[in-house]
């Protein structure tokens, strides 16, 4: 892929919860992301509000620019295993709705669902027709824009690991409220900032505009007419987040004051996470330096994804390496490599001195596949995934 890099413009952003700019810059880093037809330069400055502790990018990207980026992103490849638990999502929905003791749910919409999975099938089994909105151009969507969805038409609205990508949190919540009927329920999942000292999956992603705690999220939602009615970490479909349910309050309803003061606690969790990010980057650097110092090694890199680009930015290459990925759409994902399918890499795998995996989630399945098809077990495979 020999396309120019698009640098996403940055715009000033105050704390959406407090409406002020009493902010402390904590860290900044940049990353070039690859989509189906383009490359994008993200420059992230993570800040924290010293009044309430809400943590977010400031400056940040324009919502329209992010929509353009996401519309060109890769949708889930059909052969990939799910990276979330459909059962937990459905169990939390069932639990929340059972506690509401209300009539049948009429009208369900999912925002951001980009694949036909067991979760979407479970929604269909429970509620019949389920509407969806997804900006990715490769995915089917009932609406070209969320604003096209009809007002006050849904009793249930769900979105999973979407809100951290949104540059205008309150604007998005306001739109969700517009779609719900009075008393309707919004169920969502987001990464949990409190887990960053142990898991940096959400912290290191260049696409994340916000870093939530339950308190900060409830504060923001209350400002847009939602009341927190339930939450769960154990029923979150991914290990690094929490699930939350909110009720749409009637117009004009006022909640008791949501005074949130968790700056010190949030800053400590963020700092601990940043320390882990630094260690991960050091591991990547040491590993790649080792490969460069041994040009005689035969190396197989597995995974055309953002971890690969973190290790080998566009334009950099290893003359002694090949790149393997199971998604045929990613043949030109990296400028320096033509990605080949696993079936084309059997001889290289049999002769390889080093195997580098850029995915932790799929590593066991990949190693089993290599053993079954290439007759070799890589006990010393290196996993470069946070």
What pLDDT digit, counting tens, does each position of 238-285 carry?
999 999 999 999 988 777 666 788 999 999 999 999 999 999 999 999
Q: Domain of residue 300: give its range.
A: 295-383
Q: Based on the structure, what is the number of domains in the chain?
A: 3
Classify residue 86 by burial, with Cβ atoms within 10 Å: 0-12, 13-18, 19+: middle
Instruction: Judge if 220 and 320 occupy the same domain.
Output: no
- Mean pLDDT score of the chain: 92
Confidence of residue 138 (pLDDT cuts 50, 70, 90): low
Instruction: Judge if 100 and 215 occupy the same domain.
Output: yes
Instruction: Judge if 68 and 97 occupy the same domain.
Output: no
Instruction: Judge if 127 and 259 occupy the same domain.
Output: yes
1: pLDDT strictly greater than 60: no
Confidence of residue 2 (pLDDT cuts 50, 70, 90): low
**Could you tell me the CATH number of the domain that includes residue 371?**
3.40.50
Q: What does pTM read for this prediction?
A: 0.87
137: pLDDT strictly greater than 80: no
Which runs of consecutive H residues, i.e. helices, occur in the chain?
63-71, 86-100, 118-127, 169-179, 214-223, 263-293, 306-311, 346-351, 363-374
What pLDDT digit, counting tens, does each position of 98-119 carry?
998 778 899 999 998 766 789 9
* Structural domain contains residue 284: no
What pLDDT digit, counting tens, does each position of 45-54 carry?
999 999 999 9
* Structural domain contains residue 98: yes
End-of-domain residue from the set 74, 97, 116:
74
* Structural domain contains residue 286: no
Q: What is the CA radius of gyration of the chain?
A: 22
DSSP string, 292-344: HH-TTS-EEEE--SHHHHHHS-TT---TTEEEE-S-GGGTTSSTT---B-GGG
Instruction: Judge if 70 and 90 occupy the same domain.
Output: no
Instruction: Judge if 377 and 310 occupy the same domain.
Output: yes
294: pLDDT strictly greater than 80: yes
**Could you tell me the CATH number of the domain that includes residue 221?**
3.40.50.150
* Structural domain contains residue 287: no
Instruction: Judge if 258 and 151 occupy the same domain.
Output: yes
Q: What is the mean pLDDT of residues 179-195?
A: 97
Instruction: Judge if 59 and 141 occupy the same domain.
Output: no
């Amino acid at each position: 892929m020999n396309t120019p890099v698009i640098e996403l413009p940055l715009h000033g952003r105050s704390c959406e919860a407090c409406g002020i700019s009493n902010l402390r810059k904590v860290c900044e880093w940049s990353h070039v992301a690859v989509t189906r037809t383009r490359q994008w330069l993200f420059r992230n400055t993570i800040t924290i509000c010293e009044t309430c502790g809400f943590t977010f990018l400031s400056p940040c990207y324009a919502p329209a620019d992010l929509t353009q980026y996401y519309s060109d992103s890769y949708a889930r490849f059909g052969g990939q295993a799910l990276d979330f638990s459909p059962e937990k999502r459905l169990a939390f929905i069932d639990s929340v709705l059972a506690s509401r003791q209300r009539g049948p749910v009429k009208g369900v919409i999912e925002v951001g669902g980009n694949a036909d999975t067991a979760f979407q099938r479970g929604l269909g089994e429970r509620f019949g027709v389920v509407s969806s909105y997804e900006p990715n151009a490769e995915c089917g969507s009932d609406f070209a824009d969320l604003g096209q969805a009809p007002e006050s038409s849904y009793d249930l609205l769900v979105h999973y690991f979407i809100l951290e990508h949104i540059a205008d949190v309150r604007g998005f919540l306001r739109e969700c409220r517009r779609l719900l009927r009075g008393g309707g329920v919004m169920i969502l999942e987001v990464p949990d900032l409190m887990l960053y000292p142990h898991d940096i999956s959400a912290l290191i992603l260049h696409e994340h505009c916000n870093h939530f705690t339950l308190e900060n999220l409830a504060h923001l939602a209350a400002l847009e007419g939602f009341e927190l009615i339930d939450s769960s970490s154990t029923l979150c479909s991914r290990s690094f987040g929490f699930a939350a349910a909110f009720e749409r309050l009637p117009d004009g309803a006022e909640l008791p004051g949501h005074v949130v003061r968790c700056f010190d606690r949030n800053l400590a969790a963020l700092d601990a996470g940043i320390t882990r990010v630094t260690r991960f980057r050091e591991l990547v650097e040491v590993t790649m330096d080792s490969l460069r110092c041994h040009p005689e090694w035969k190396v197989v890199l597995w995974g055309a994804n953002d971890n690969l680009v973190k290790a080998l930015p566009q334009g950099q290459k290893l003359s002694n390496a090949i790149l393997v990925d199971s998604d045929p759409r990613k043949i030109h994902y990296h400028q320096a490599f033509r990605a080949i399918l696993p079936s084309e890499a059997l001889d290289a795998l049999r002769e390889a001195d080093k195997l580098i995996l850029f995915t932790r989630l799929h590593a066991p399945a990949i190693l089993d596949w290599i053993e079954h098809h290439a007759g070799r077990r890589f006990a010393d495979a290196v996993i470069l995934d946070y």
